[in-house]
Amino acid sequence: MQAVRLLFGKYGGKVYVDDKVQVIAPNSVVVAHNGPVPCNTGSDIQYFDFYPADFQRLYADVVDLLGAPHRTLFWRDPIRMVKAQAEVISVLELLAQGTPDTLLRFAYIYCLGVDRRYFSALLQHIMTGDEPFFEFIETHSLNQWSVARYAQEFDMPLRKFNLLFQEKYGLTAKRWLLERRLTHARELLLSTPMRILDIALECGFSNHGHFTESFRRRFLCNPTQLRIQTNLISAINDAE
């Protein structure tokens, strides 16, 4: 499955969809596939790509908001446009500067509120058949396994596993797993008094040195420096 592309802008513009030009109305939120891109550089349209793994996280948050399951064959529109107020676009522009999950959650919940039937069916369509793979990755993402071990445990040839992972997550398995482990390690450093070595082992790193070097490359400081900086800021805030 290709990425789902989210587009929005206050002034609208034109995009290419399947080699054809499609006009995007001002103050619109657009959900599309096949990678539509703005035709002209003067457009304020922003676009972001999301993958089934992103929608898996979204699904857990909005499942109670969805309509009844779609009983007939569902056909995705190449491009689905939802009108919005200027204030909604302003919020999307602000969220675009933060985490992709927050942007997707706000945009999709808004679209559900405007066109519940279509966007319920689209999300259910995206999720069909993917749950076992996502559950496997989530359950074992912090294990000290190589990518080859993941493929073996999931009973799938390595090449096929890598292709499936890229399709569902939009990243290679090696890159995504490293990011997942480092992000979790950062959360533990900030929220617990755990020893750095214990955090490294819990987050799937086989030794302290590999963890420290990977963390430094990702966050531009080593784990000890992050903890010292955080404690210093907390002490200053308490003193005030």
One domain, residues 135 and 117:
no
The domain of 173 spans: 131-236
One domain, residues 36 and 97:
yes
pLDDT of residue 182: 96
pLDDT digits (tens, 9 = 90+) for 169-179: 989 999 999 99
pLDDT of residue 131: 79
Give me the chain's average pLDDT, please. Answer: 89
One domain, residues 84 and 169:
no
What CATH number is associated with residue 156?
1.10.10.60
Q: What is the pLDDT averaged over residues 156-174?
A: 93
- pTM for the model: 0.78
One domain, residues 55 and 76:
yes
Structure tokens at 142: 């912090």
The residue that leads in pLDDT, 175 or 77, is 175
One domain, residues 187 and 153:
yes
pLDDT digits (tens, 9 = 90+) for 202-230: 999 989 999 999 999 999 999 999 988 88
Q: Which of 1-15, 153-167, 180-194 has the lowest mean pLDDT?
A: 1-15
Q: Is the pLDDT of residue 58 over 70?
A: yes
One domain, residues 160 and 119:
no
State the total domains in the chain: 2
One domain, residues 123 and 11:
yes
pLDDT-derived band at 231 (thresholds 50, 70, 90) equals confident
pLDDT of residue 98: 92
pLDDT of residue 101: 93
pLDDT of residue 187: 94
One domain, residues 116 and 208:
no
One domain, residues 19 and 94:
yes
Last residue of some domain: 127, 150, 174? 127
One domain, residues 202 and 137:
yes
One domain, residues 8 and 123:
yes
